[in-house]
Amino acid sequence: MASFASGLNASIVLARRHPLSVGRSPPFTLPAFNHRTKYQLSCRLKSDMTTGKSKGDVKVFDSNENLSLSLANYISDLSAKVTAEKSTFTVVFSGGSLFKSLSKLVEAPYVDSIDWSKWNVFWLDERVVPKDHPDSNYLLAYDNFLSKVSIPPGNVYAINDALSAEGAADDYETCLKHLVNTGTLSISEASGFPKFDLMLIGMGPDGHVASLFPGHPLLQESTKWVTYIKDSPKPPPERITFTFPVINSSAHVALVITGSNKAHPVHVALGDGQNSGTLPIQMVSPEGKLSWFLDKEAASKL
């Protein structure tokens, strides 16, 4: 088994093939899958040389199946912990390849053991297209996740597809403010922005997260909770997106990144070299816990 430590001051984990994945019907006991014991090579935390702030816990997997199992375990554990303490679990989804890595979450044992009734689902970003359009992040989430779990429809907060980009961003921010007032959504005492329990975030090959693209003025947005873009370099051009102050107020952020075309920005963000800190992926720095779930291709330059 390869080690990807390579001078990283990070928690780098290469998971072995999980015994639940070998095509038999195992006794599904969630606590048995403990990455902190058998399946983990090493565990270190990476911190930023300039700010001293932790870059989080980094796990590298030898297959998407093992990544998906670990991610399902992480989400399931967090859901149980949060819902034992309060009545809502607020979860934000990006679009893109993230859903490939969520495939195990919607299978036994996780799908049967998670208390979906407490889940409240939001979108990190959305394209200004109808919900049944192939570019819709809602449709992606519906087909791969929502249609397979029993989250109450009233707890699913999709972005309004009947409005303009500007109108939909305002409408979503108003929706979030209402949910803060009703106690469904918390506010960060540190930032004054909404504090989601968990954000599941993918990254594009250019290092973009949400619909926040390299070099775009939206990276500097410091007031709005939700904003819009009409000149996205990746089609479609019109999109709605959470801003960095909201992303970085989260209690937990999981960055889920797979594929060799993502290796460069992953290296820029996590490698030891000097970096400018200007790629959007480098700007993800939550007040809560940051975890990276990488496949070995995405981690290949570390």
Q: Note the residues at the interface with ligand LXAUTJHC (CB under 6 A).
A: 94-97, 124-125, 137, 202-204, 210-211, 234
Comparing CB distances to ligand LXAUTJHC, the nearer of 21 and 97 is 97
Rounded to a whole number of angstroms, the minimum distance from the CB of residue 97 to ligand LXAUTJHC is 3
Rounded distance, CA 94 to CA 82, Å? 21
Tokens 């208390």, located at residue: 115
- Tell me how far, at minimum, the Cβ of 133 lies from ligand LXAUTJHC, in Å: 13
H-state helical runs in the chain: 64-85, 110-113, 137-144, 165-181, 244-247, 263-270
Q: Which is nearer to ligand LXAUTJHC, 8 or 209 (CB)?
A: 209
Lookup result for tokens 């290949």: 300
On the 0-12 / 13-18 / 19+ scale of CB atoms within 10 A, 265 is buried
Q: Which is nearer to ligand LXAUTJHC, 159 or 185 (CB)?
A: 159
**Shorter beta-carbon distance to ligand LXAUTJHC: residue 125 or 197:** 125
Q: Which of 248, 301, 245 is nearest to 270 (CA)?
A: 301
Residue 291 belongs to what H/E stretch?
strand 289-295
User: What's the distance, CA 187 to chain centroid?
Assistant: 19
- Tell me which residue has its CB nearest to ligand LXAUTJHC: 96
CA–CA gap between residue 15 and residue 299 (Å, rounded) = 13
Q: Among residues 12 and 98, whose Cβ is nearest to ligand LXAUTJHC? A: 98
Minimum CB distance to ligand LXAUTJHC, residue 94 (Å): 3
Separation between Cα atoms, residue 118 and residue 155, nearest integer Å: 8
CB of 168 to ligand LXAUTJHC, least distance (A): 14
Q: Smallest gap, in angstroms, from Cβ of residue 123 to ligand LXAUTJHC?
A: 8
Nearer to ligand LXAUTJHC, 194 or 280 (CB): 280
Question: Is 20 or 168 the residue whose CB approaches ligand LXAUTJHC more closely?
Answer: 168
Is there a contact between 287 and 189 (Cβ–Cβ < 8 Å)? no
- As given in the structure block, the two tokens for residue 255 are 């960055």
How far are the Cα atoms of 1, 119, 139, 193, 260 from residue 96, in angstroms, in the given order? 29, 21, 11, 25, 15
